[in-house]
């Protein structure tokens, strides 16, 4: 109950979030929805959510921003994206290994220049916000100042991001290689500087096993002495990549085992892609509770393959999964567009992805995969107030399609409207993005 002397900030609209996993619970138990809702904030945190009429009378002193007719959702979480690749998104014609050589490595070299890194980092974070993404797990480059640039820009925006210096010591042009001991020392000082600075968190980031020597992977594993650092890398994305892994690490039983041998498979690991995993690898990922970042626009763009989402969502051996754009192999910053491609990737395998499941994977599901569900992901009181305002009729076509359900009256209308957003929507639907209760 409120203290009458306090004035809280509040937002009125059609409010939806998740309180359970819709892959394992009935959707009606997983989604919380208030067609005419009120979200009340206290100092950047959620104070209460509920039905407008009910809550209004309990809080006499409210400064209300009215978004009636719009959806209010938790901010999106992007589980895997490359900041330096912003400028080379949509580069033609190659699959993973050739695409890295031809387009990615040259653009990452440009991050050696701290001014350029700062300019792109600012652009990149603004683009995330414009698309309704409030938290992201981000790769940068091997240059420590590029990590400073990204964290500095995120701190200025009060964003909760997870990032770290890329570790690369072989199989790339010299300008992108570091001696493992140098990278180790740079990583240590970046951790001291940035991990838990405001909302920022650090991830140990070997690019992928082929570009690190065994020595470097060993050093990467030794950071497990810091209990809450993340480990972020790529796994089993492309068939040629997997054949290369067999040559480079002949003692390993499979791709995941390379990372296992160096202590890099933990509940704080985030593996991008995981398309071509064996049953044994899936079992072991479930045991370790490592997360997989499902990157459908990237997997289609590079022709990498179709991620088997349903294999990761069994009741008996679930693996935490979140959606990710993987720009610049990914073709959009928009998690709405990413959900649409995820739906199509599943359709091609005879699977389905309901709108509630898709939005869950981009909000609470991703927060749980990151062990951040006590802070972000839904509107439970006490959580950080990162949220977005969605206009479901931002284009003439969407206005026509959604004309009879503004706002959706019940869960079935809400599901239909969310589905139109994942199939037709993009940045045009993101009317506003709030970070800790402030308009960004
Ligand atoms: N594997 C190693 N590096 C990369 C990268 O930059 N993008 C993608 N999609 N896969 C990778
Ligand atoms: Zn990637």
Question: What are the pLDDT digits (tens) for 252-300?
Answer: 999 999 999 999 999 999 999 999 999 999 999 999 999 999 999 999 9
**Ligand 1 atom with the shortest distance to the CA of 295:** 9
CA-nearest of 154, 127, 196 to 433 is 127
| Alpha-carbon gap, residue 389 to 13, rounded angstroms | 9
> Tokens 């001991």 belong to which residue?
181
Q: pTM for the whole thing?
A: 0.98
Does residue 325 have its Cβ closer than 6 Å to ligand 1? no
Q: Tell me the pLDDT tens digit for each residue of 357-397.
A: 999 999 999 999 999 999 999 999 999 999 999 999 999 99
Asked if residue 268 has its Cβ within 6 Å of ligand 1, the reply is: no
State residue 357's pLDDT score. Answer: 98
Distance CA 312, CA 383 (A): 28
Point out which residues pair with 324 in neighbouring strands: none
Residue with tokens 């650090």: 202
Distance of CA 149 to the CA centre of its chain: 20
Task: Give the position, in ligand 1's atom list, of the atom nearest the Cα of 139.
Answer: 6
- Residue nearest (by alpha carbon) to ligand 1 atom 5: 100
Q: How many whole angstroms from 208 Cα to the centroid of ligand 1?
A: 8
Report the C-alpha gap between 269 and 255 in whole angstroms.
15
> How many angstroms separate the first and last alpha carbons of the chain?
29
Q: What is the pLDDT along the chain (440 residues), one digit of tens a residue?
A: 545 557 899 999 999 999 999 999 999 999 999 999 999 999 999 999 999 999 999 998 999 999 999 999 999 999 999 999 999 999 999 999 999 999 999 999 999 999 999 999 999 999 999 999 999 999 999 999 999 999 999 999 999 999 999 999 999 999 999 999 999 999 999 999 999 999 999 999 999 999 999 999 999 999 988 879 999 999 999 999 999 999 999 999 999 999 999 999 999 999 999 999 999 999 999 999 999 999 999 999 999 999 999 999 999 999 999 999 999 999 999 999 999 999 999 999 999 999 999 999 999 999 999 999 999 999 999 999 999 999 999 999 999 999 988 899 999 999 999 999 999 999 999 999 999 999 99
How far is the C-alpha of 94 from the C-alpha of 329, rounded, in Å?
Answer: 10
Report the separation in Å between the CA atom of 317 and the middle of ligand 2, taken as the mean of its atom positions: 25
Q: How far is the CA of 145 from the centre of ligand 1 (A)?
A: 21
104 in ligand 1 pocket by Cβ < 6 Å? yes
The phi, psi pair for 220, rounded to 5°, reads -60, -45
User: Could you tell me the distance, in angstroms and rounded to a whole number, from the CA of residue 61 to the centre of ligand 2?
Assistant: 47
* pLDDT attached to residue 4: 52
- Short-list 256, 262, 265, CA closest to 291: 265
CA distance 293 to 281: 15
């Amino acid at each position: 109950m409120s203290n009458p002397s306090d004035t809280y900030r509040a937002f009125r609209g059609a409010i939806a979030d998740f309180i359970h996993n819709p892959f394992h619970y009935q959707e009606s138990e997983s989604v919380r929805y208030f067609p005419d809702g009120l979200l009340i904030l206290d100092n950047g945190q959620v104070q209460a959510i509920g039905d407008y009429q009910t809550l209004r009378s309990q809080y006499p002193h409210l400064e209300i921003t009215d978004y009636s007719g719009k959806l209010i959702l938790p901010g999106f979480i992007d589980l895997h994206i490359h900041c330096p690749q912003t400028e080379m998104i949509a580069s033609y014609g190659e699959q993973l290994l050739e695409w890295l050589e031809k387009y990615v490595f040259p653009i990452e070299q440009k991050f050696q220049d701290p001014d350029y890194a700062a300019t792109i980092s600012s652009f990149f974070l603004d683009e995330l916000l414009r698309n309704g993404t409030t938290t992201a797990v981000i790769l940068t480059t091997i240059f420590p100042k590029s990590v400073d640039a990204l964290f500095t820009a995120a701190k200025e925006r009060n964003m909760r991001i997870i990032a770290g210096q890329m570790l690369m010591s072989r199989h790339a042009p010299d300008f992108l290689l570091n001696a493992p001991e140098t990278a180790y020392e740079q990583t240590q000082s970046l951790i001291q500087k940035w991990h838990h600075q405001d909302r920022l968190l650090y991830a140990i980031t070997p690019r992928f096993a082929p570009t690190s020597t065994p020595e470097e992977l060993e050093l990467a594993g030794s950071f497990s002495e810091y209990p809450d650092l993340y480990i972020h890398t790529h796994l089993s994305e492309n068939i040629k990549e997997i054949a290369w892994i067999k040559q480079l690490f002949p003692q390993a039983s499979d791709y995941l085992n390379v990372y296992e041998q160096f202590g890099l498979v933990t509940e704080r690991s985030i593996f991008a892609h995981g398309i071509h995993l064996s049953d044994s690898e899936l079992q072991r990922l479930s045991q370790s509770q490592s997360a997989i970042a499902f990157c459908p626009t990237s997997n289609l763009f590079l022709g990498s393959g179709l991620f088997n989402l349903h294999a990761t969502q069994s009741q008996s051996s679930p693996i935490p999964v979140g959606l990710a754009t993987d720009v610049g192999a990914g073709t959009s910053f928009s998690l709405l567009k990413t959900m649409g491609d995820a739906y199509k990737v599943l359709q091609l395998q005879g699977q389905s992805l309901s709108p509630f499941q898709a939005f869950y994977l981009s909000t609470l599901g991703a927060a749980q995969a990151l062990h951040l569900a006590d802070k972000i992901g839904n509107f439970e009181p006490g959580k950080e107030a990162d949220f977005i305002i969605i206009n479901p009729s931002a284009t003439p076509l969407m206005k026509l399609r959604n004309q009879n359900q503004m706002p959706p009256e019940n869960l079935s209308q809400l599901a239909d409207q969310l589905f139109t957003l994942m199939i037709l929507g993009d940045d045009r639907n993101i009317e506003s993005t709030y970070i800790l209760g402030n308009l960004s």
